Structure 1
């Protein structure tokens, strides 16, 4: 499936302004401003200046919170987004209510306490982000994430992403058994097809590493599998024969 760009000039705009450059600019800007955020349940609140808000929007991190105070802007980040900015890009500090900064280990434990399978979700999120895909929540499609080739204003999301865990025996991570029932798999593929997305299954394997600290993530691996619904119309025998004949004629 090729990218579905929004408008004739969208692809050219994306090529002229790559996501890797936007994220790099965001990282530099937050570092220079010594950005601090605070925890709020299962999300993170970040006060921003207008230029930071623009970069966060362009890089597709978080969502702006609408308030009556036009001078002070706030962004709400997911746990995965906040940890990516804090741990991977190292451009965001997250503070306790007392005003002191969380250490990486403290932040890791907090996020695991809010979402038991946070390590697997974060590994999948960071796996896509480091490849310069834009990753947004996918709950409206019944999946974990949706992945865009560039900013959602320029292109439709290409993948509906499900995160699975490999090698778990107890099933206490909340991921065991997903898509194990044929009806679940069929419904998910039908839904993805109806919204013109490919189902991307990311299987996170711990490879014997635990989840005690974020350093264990380096030992994790991610297996990618794309699943599409088989279409009889696109796989008819006469069409395959015609394609083979055309290829043979072209090689003469």
Structure 2
């Protein structure tokens, strides 16, 4: 199995912003796992018969990834490192189980063994930045204490010292630079070349990290793009679309798996259906949809992906019943069904405003069971009966909204 390392983000190679941007544009050029390749069909031009009808001879390259369904975590595990890299770099699907987002555990282990400062991943860059910030605060506190001692000693002698006379330079955030320890020249310690040769000989550790897909991401890849196969953990066979569709609904019932064979228990207010409607809606509009639990919301919307820009919108999914009687018989503990309190809404709005995100309340109307028959839930065709409304909330900040 080939070793695929994630995109380096460290400052080891002093590249300009444009070089790093061009590299990201090359690596993350494909917004979806499917690729339309025309290399083998160059003879198809606009002058051919297909070109007259607006068709082309492009070939669709399907990666055909595989994942294992895990009912305990309600997710799909992609254990193949090649498939994990494809799903992440082509649409930012899933999350590394041992990483912040991109699966970088193996790259961090290799960098730690080689003591490499080049090609650092995002977690290592963040750790270095926090260590440097902590060291800066310690150096500044130490310099202030030294200046205070010198000023106090001069005050006891009846004179006043200026900051320049103390000879202590208080570092500032704009001019401070981290000090690096000099290399050791002791003959007892091995040279850097010997250490490098020793570490190269070490075996590469096994990659124990896998990519974890949410149920919404997995079904979008399977049903909409047809580029993912879900494996049953018991039979180790690929699950059919009907089996997956029923399993993803029944898994949210409190008595699962005792209801696994009873399809009549499926409902339109199933949490999987509500969240998938929102996920499919924004994915079909071209947005990169990621989990938003870090900012107290359900989803985050990226224009191109977390590698390029921060999320622009934060979504809160709000289920709304078309028939109030369906709410009384709901067996699920749906979030945000009751009206919000002003304290909660103001808190969430303030949190997202401080990180430059616009809060969006996404209302999903659940069709009434009296109007739609339960047999419609046997296939994804029932999704057309849901409707979505959006309300954008902006926090009024006088300092920013004077104009």
Structure 2 residue 3 is matched with structure 1 residue 25: no
In 2, Cα distance between the equivalents of 1:200 and 1:14?
Answer: 32
Q: 1:54 to 1:191 in 2, by over 3 A?
A: same
Q: How does 1:189-228 map to 2 (within 5 A)?
A: 189-208=349-368, 209=372, 212-213=377-378, 214-228=380-394
Alignment check: 8 A CA contact 2:288 2:301 kept: yes
Q: Is the 8 A contact 2:33 2:86 kept in 1?
A: no
- Matched residue SS, 1:212: helix
The Cα offsets for residues 20-75 of structure 1, whole Å up to 9 and x where unpaired, read as 9430536955x35x43221112110123353x3332222211123547424x8732
- Residue matched to 2:242: 105
Q: Does residue 181 of structure 1 match 2:317?
A: no
Checking the alignment, whether the CA contact within 8 Å between 2:283 and 2:289 is kept in structure 1 is yes
Could you tell me how far 1:221 is from its partner in structure 2? 1.8
How many Å separate the matches in 1 of 2:307 and 2:362?
25
Which structure has the bigger radius of gyration?
A: 2
Question: How many pairs were matched up?
Answer: 227
Distance 1:179 1:164 in 2: 9
For structure 2, which runs of at least 5 residues remain unmatched after alignment?
A: 1-15, 37-59, 98-104, 107-204, 253-269
- Give the superposition deviation at 1:161: 0.9
Q: What is the aligned partner in structure 1 of residue 85 from structure 2? A: 54
CA contact (8 A) 1:120 1:165 kept: yes
* Displacement after TM superposition at 1:147 (Å): 1.1
Query: Could you say which structure has the higher strand fraction?
Result: 1
SS across alignment from 1:135: strand
Cα distance in 2, alignment partners of residues 218 and 56 from structure 1: 27
TM-score for the superposition, normalised by structure 2: 0.50
Does residue 75 of the first structure (1) align with residue 211 of the second (2)? yes
Identify unmatched segments of 5+ residues in structure 1: 1-6, 240-252
Match of 1:94 among 230, 244, 252: 230
Offset of residue 201 of structure 1: 1.6
